[in-house]
């Protein structure tokens, strides 16, 4: 059993409170967590809670049943004040979403063969946005604080039933194949079949070659379907006619392991998303729509070396993007992705390449592990919001980061319960760089920082 809690209350500013409780017994687990955001008056403005159950039952060494369930509650309460872009009033929004999820899966495994079959169910109930307009005239003026109902939220419930099965079977010496299928029955988007398949070839013990394929079904979110605008202009409005997004992924990978001292793996991938949902300008509002199709492809590589007590890790990746012509002509789309746009069709806020190098030492006799890490991030576009504000696409600079982490290993100060101590330092070189932000302002990176964490299991 373990208990974790964290809280911050800050007068005159948004504070947060986080809590978590986990109970484990044999093969069962219960997990409850909550996050609350407080208003300037220190009353709950937003909260999100999750209660989850998980149980695994083994009938034999080869046959097992895994069952899980979760209840999620998210609320935006009238205590949260939203800017209406008007000096005469602000907006209060009342919005509740809760979801039930449950599933069970039967698995059989023997040697290199396995079979599994299962089903899951999701019910998502959303109140929609109930919008109140609150007068903000000077204090003491007649009508100050009056709240008028402007929009009543559109209440709706969606249900998704799914059944799936998968088999992994040896075909020839060193060659195995995997095939799977899933059927989703959604009361809004109908019935969808998703397939997956793959093959693994192992010519020698230390070498693996993999080829994978999968497709997926992603229904539109409640906000994309039914969001209500809080502003007369420039707000967000949902679209109940949205189609579900469909995705396909193809990946090839090779991995090599030398004893327990070194390993290397590299992969190439391609990912297609059809009917990608974006918010586009319609009249004076931004409405969710199935704007375009997208294709991403990239390469990733990672190497690890461990010569006890020392270890070293190096990884690098790069990605390219291709976009279809949008179904609706949008000025912001042309300046962000059109001919001559800096960065071309690259996605916003995602570096064109990334590299990491880290190394350290583990001293278990002294209950400590120390790691130093260096990260290098290539140029990337700013956010779409800031590109629109600037009237042109622009790139944020390449930057480097240096960090250090010192943590306890195998430390038990209270009986057999684990004690965890860590000191984490980021941006130790105090580099100046930015991430794409909003309202024409890119977000400056946090300067040189140190974080201390202490936790104790009970």
Peptide bond between residue 426 and the one before it cis (omega within 30 degrees of 0): no
Calpha distance 265→313 (Å, rounded): 12
Check residue 289 and give its pLDDT. Answer: 87
Q: Look at residue 3 in the predicted model and tell me its pLDDT.
A: 46
Specify the pLDDT at position 238: 81
3-state secondary structure of 137: coil
Sorted by sequence, the CB contacts under 8 Å of residue 206 that are 6+ apart come out as: 256, 257, 258
Give the span between the Cα atoms of 387 and 338, in whole angstroms: 12
Q: What is the DSSP string of 171-217?
A: EETTEEEEEEEEEEEETTTEEEEEEEEEEEEEEETTEEEEEEEEEEE
CA angle 161, 162, 168 (to 5 degrees): 170
The residue ranges of every structural domain in the chain are: 344-458
Q: Please state, as a whole number, how many other Cβ atoms lie within 10 Å of the Cβ of residue 349.
A: 17
Residue 332 φ/ψ, nearest 5 degrees:
-65, -35
Tokens 């969606």 belong to 158
Question: What is the structure's pLDDT at 41?
Answer: 58
Whole-number pLDDT of residue 43 = 61
Model pLDDT for residues 416-432, shown as the tens digit of each residue: 888 899 999 999 988 88
In this structure, how many other beta carbons lie within 10 angstroms of the beta carbon of residue 143?
9
Q: Residue 224: how many CB atoms within 10 A of its CB?
A: 20
Place of tokens 């990491």: 356
Give the β-pairing of 262-282 and 245-258.
antiparallel
In this prediction, residue 131 carries a pLDDT of: 77
- Residue 259 is predicted with a pLDDT of 86
Q: What is the pLDDT of residue 15?
A: 61
Structure tokens at 72: 């999620």
Q: Are 256 and 206 in contact (CB under 8 A)?
A: yes
The rounded average pLDDT for each run of 10 residues, N- to C-terminus, in the chain (458 residues) is: 44 60 81 74 72 93 95 76 64 83 96 94 86 66 62 80 95 92 92 94 93 90 73 72 91 94 96 88 80 92 94 95 83 82 85 94 93 94 85 89 93 87 91 81 86 85
Q: Which tens digit of pLDDT belongs to each residue from 54-82?
A: 999 999 999 999 999 999 998 876 655 66
Confidence (pLDDT) at 7: 43
389 phi and psi, to 5 degrees?
Answer: -65, -35
pLDDT for the residue 358: 96
Residues sharing a CB contact under 8 Å with residue 425, sequence separation 6 or more, in sequence order: 403, 404, 405, 448, 449, 450, 451
Residue 284 tokens, joined:
């004076």
Smallest CA-to-CA distance from 401 within 343, 348, 446 is with 446
- Maximum distance among all Cα pairs of the chain, rounded to whole angstroms: 85
Distances (CA, A) of 84 to 47, 96, 102, 136, 153: 22, 21, 39, 11, 18
Dihedral angle at the C-alpha atoms of 110, 111, 117, 120, nearest 10 degrees? 110
How far from chain centre, in Å, is Cα 17? Answer: 21
């Amino acid at each position: 059993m373990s208990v974790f809690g964290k809280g911050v209350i800050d007068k005159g500013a948004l504070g947060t409170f986080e809590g978590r409780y986990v109970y484990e017994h044999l093969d069962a687990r219960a997990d409850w967590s909550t996050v609350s955001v407080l208003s300037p008056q220190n009353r709950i403005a937003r909260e999100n809670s999750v209660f989850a159950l998980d149980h695994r039952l083994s009938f034999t060494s080869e046959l097992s049943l895994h069952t899980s369930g979760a209840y999620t509650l998210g609320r935006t309460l009238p205590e949260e004040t939203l800017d209406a872009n008007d000096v005469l009033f602000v907006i209060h929004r009342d919005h509740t979403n809760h979801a039930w999820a449950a599933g069970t899966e039967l698995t059989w495994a023997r040697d290199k063969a396995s079979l599994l079959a299962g089903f899951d169910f999701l019910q998502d109930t959303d109140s929609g946005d109930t919008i109140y307009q609150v007068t903000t005239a000077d204090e003491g003026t007649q009508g100050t604080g009056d709240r008028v109902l402007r929009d009543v939220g559109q209440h709706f419930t969606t249900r998704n039933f799914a059944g799936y099965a998968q088999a992994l079977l040896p075909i020839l010496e060193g060659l195995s194949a995997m095939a799977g299928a899933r059927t989703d029955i959604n009361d809004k988007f109908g019935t969808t079949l998703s397939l997956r398949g793959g093959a693994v070839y192992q010519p020698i013990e230390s070498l693996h070659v993999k080829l994978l394929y999968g497709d997926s079904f992603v229904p539109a979110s409640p906000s994309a379907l039914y969001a209500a605008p809080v502003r007369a202009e420039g707000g967000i409005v949902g679209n109940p006619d949205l189609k579900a997004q469909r995705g396909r992924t193809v990946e090839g990978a090779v991995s090599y392991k030398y004893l327990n001292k070194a390993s290397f793996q590299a992969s190439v991938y391609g990912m297609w998303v059809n009917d990608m949902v974006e918010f586009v300008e319609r009249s004076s509002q931004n409405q969710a729509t199935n704007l375009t199709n997208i294709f991403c492809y990239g390469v990733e590589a990672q190497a690890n070396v461990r010569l006890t007590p020392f270890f070293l890790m190096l990884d690098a990746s790069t990605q390219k993007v291709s976009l279809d012509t949008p179904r609706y002509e949008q000025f912001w789309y042309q300046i962000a992705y059109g001919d001559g746009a800096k960065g071309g069709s690259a996605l916003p806020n995602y570096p064109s390449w990334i590299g990491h190098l880290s190394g350290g030492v583990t001293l278990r006799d002294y209950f400590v592990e120390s790691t130093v890490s260096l990260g290098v991030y290539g140029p990337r576009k700013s956010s779409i919001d800031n590109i629109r504000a600037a009237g042109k696409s622009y790139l944020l600079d390449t930057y480097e980061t240096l960090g250090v982490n010192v943590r306890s290993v195998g430390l038990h100060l209270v009986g057999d319960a684990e004690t965890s101590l860590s000191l984490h330092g980021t941006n130790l070189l105090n580099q100046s760089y930015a991430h794409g932000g909003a309202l024409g302002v890119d977000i400056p990176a946090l300067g040189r920082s140190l974080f201390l964490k202490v936790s104790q299991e009970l």
